[in-house]
Amino acid sequence: MSQPLDLSQFPDLPSDVVKAFAAMQFELSVERAARQHEQAVVAEKEAFIGELKALIEKLEGQIGNYRQAKFGPKSEKLNPAQLELALEDLETAIADTQAQIAAVEEKIAASERDPAKQRTSRAPRKSRALPESLPRVERVIEPGSIACPCGCGDMVRIGEDRTERLDYIPARYQVIVTVRPRYACPKGRTGVAQAKAPAHLLEGSWPTEALLAQIAVSKYSEHMPLNRQAVVMTRHGVPIDRSVLADWMGRTGALIAPVVDHMAEKLTKGSSRLYVDETTAPVLDPGRGRTKTGYLWAVLRDDRGWGGPAPPGVVFHYRPGRKGEYAAEILAGFDGTIQDEEDKQTVRGTVCPTNAYGGYTHLATPKRTGGQPLKLAFCWAHGRRKLIKAVPKNGSPIVDEALVRIAVLYKIEGSIRGSDPEHRLATRQALSRPLVDEFFTWLNAQAARVSRKSDLGEAMAYMLKRQQGFRLFLEDGRVDIDSNLVENAIRSPAMNRRNALFAGHDEGGKNQARFASLIGTCKMNGARALRLPE
């Protein structure tokens, strides 16, 4: 850059020329400063834009990872418990990046010369209403003064702005002191009068029924082991050892056993249709120094799909294995009937297993002990998943068409959900039966073109071999097309298994089954909180 001319070298120049030259130099310096400022602003904006592009690229990558984790091929998915944790972290990272992008956008807008552009171009988030059932605490913020500047007196209220924020009140432990005054005759002529001590679930122990319910829900529904709960209670000023909490839960589990047994009897002897499924429950085997595989068997009733009057419920049974004899034992006494009001034919009780596991198969034969032969309704969602799992890497037109055909059946089911059995049966006979007939005719033709040893061949053979079970929903309006309800019910015990790793004893598995039964039934009936009777 050239140096400014020094006029002191020309002392003979007229004063007006000197002034004009000085003015010109000042204008040049202002123009130079403006140009430098503009270059600095452009450089700053380019830096912001570069940062914004990098953040957008980062966000696109995070969203891609999120979609892959949630919607990617089954072979690449994590198990449900790991998936939930992964999605939480990905969603947190996405929100973090979005906040950084918003901050950069605000900087770019603030760097604009036009004041009208000095506001973010980001659209405001759509407000969402908080539940009306939550208590509201109003906080009114008045201005420092409402005196009118014109001197006419106080201003008048013409409206208000309202905003809502969700607050949290930390958990508080308290001690309930029960006082039972004693009264006696002042002359000593009669005995002493005193109210009877109220009955408690755990006599002679500290916890109230509400506290026991909270510990149980935290452990068996919110998957927080007792050692973690003990840490939280200590942080709140209540140092209760984990072993004490375990003692409370064990004694409570023993006391609620008759309630769960009664629930199980109501389900098996008072129902015409049940869902059954099982999930593993690892149990410590001290003799071998490792764990053995126990099972939680879920027996569920939910007749809301056809407007049935019986309340929904689920009971979990712990068994040390998965033998068919355990299924027979659990379902002993289940011999209900479903009567078709149109043709007056009696159909024996129906069990809806989530899959074609052989432990249930013998229950459908005359050799069944503990009741009449049952009919097995197989799950279309399970058959569909088998087809999806068998898709080769380069895709399969056969599976694509099978999924479209099954989707039509589900669309029909969605239109009759909650209707009475007669309407459901009539709709299925008119609309679904022809589609199911066509599906199995088509599937049989496709199976002839595919090797039976391939994954796809095995998936198609699975459904073809069990046509009768897959067709059962067409014969009875009370039977559902799938068993997703019970699969959803066993997710909570499965999550608890992944957090607690294993139970310490078979009795611990039974205890878990009892609490899972109470909590699962409360959830199905829309209970917002579990409280044992006072």
Mean pLDDT of 238-256: 89
Q: In Å, how far from its chain's centre is CA 519? A: 15
CA–CA dist 328, 363 (Å, integer): 7
Question: How do 182-184 and 313-319 pair as beta strands?
Answer: unpaired
Mean pLDDT of 389-400: 88
Mean pLDDT of 351-377: 65
CA–CA dist 341, 4 (Å, integer): 108
Please check the confidence at residue 504 and state whether its pLDDT lies above 60. Answer: no
Residues 105-123 have pLDDT tens digits of 777 777 665 554 444 445 5
- Sequence-ordered list of residues with C-beta below 8 angstroms from that of 253, at least 6 positions apart, any chain: 510, 511, 514, 515
The answer to whether residues 318 and 513 touch, using CB atoms and an 8 Å cutoff, is yes
pLDDT confidence of residue 370: 65
Mean pLDDT is lowest, of 237-246, 345-354, 366-375, for 345-354
Please check the confidence at residue 519 and state whether its pLDDT lies above 50. Answer: yes
CA–CA dist 354, 467 (Å, integer): 15
Please check the confidence at residue 145 and state whether its pLDDT lies above 70. Answer: yes
| More confident site: 343 or 451 | 451
Residues 331-361 have pLDDT tens digits of 887 764 332 333 333 334 555 554 545 556 6
- Sequence-ordered list of residues with C-beta below 8 angstroms from that of 160, at least 6 positions apart, any chain: none
CA–CA dist 497, 512 (Å, integer): 10
Mean pLDDT of 68-94: 62
CA–CA dist 239, 134 (Å, integer): 31
| More confident site: 521 or 95 | 521
351-374: buried (b, 16+ CB within 10 Å) or exposed (e) per residue?
bbbbbbeebbebbbeeebeebeeb
The DSSP-derived string for 217-262 is: HHHHTS---HHHHHHHHHHTT----HHHHHHHHHHHHHHHHHHHHH
pLDDT confidence of residue 347: 35
Q: Of 342, 339, 334, nearest to 301 (Cα)?
A: 334
The answer to whether residues 375 and 350 touch, using CB atoms and an 8 Å cutoff, is yes
Q: What is the DSSP letter of 362?
A: G
Q: How far is CA 461 from CA 65, 141, 391, 392, 451, in A?
A: 35, 71, 15, 17, 10
* Domain segments of the chain as ranges: 7-68+89-117, 380-482
Whole-number mean pLDDT of the chain?
A: 79
pLDDT confidence of residue 463: 93
- Sequence-ordered list of residues with C-beta below 8 angstroms from that of 274, at least 6 positions apart, any chain: 267, 268, 299, 300, 301, 331, 334, 349, 350, 351, 352
pLDDT confidence of residue 193: 92
| More confident site: 74 or 160 | 160
The answer to whether residues 328 and 365 touch, using CB atoms and an 8 Å cutoff, is no
Highest mean pLDDT out of 160-164, 273-277, 434-438? 434-438
The answer to whether residues 297 and 330 touch, using CB atoms and an 8 Å cutoff, is yes
Mean pLDDT of 157-170: 88
Question: How do 350-353 and 346-348 pair as beta strands?
Answer: unpaired
Which two three-digit tokens encode residue 103?
A: 């901050």
Highest mean pLDDT out of 60-64, 304-308, 484-488? 304-308
Which two three-digit tokens encode residue 505?
A: 């004893």
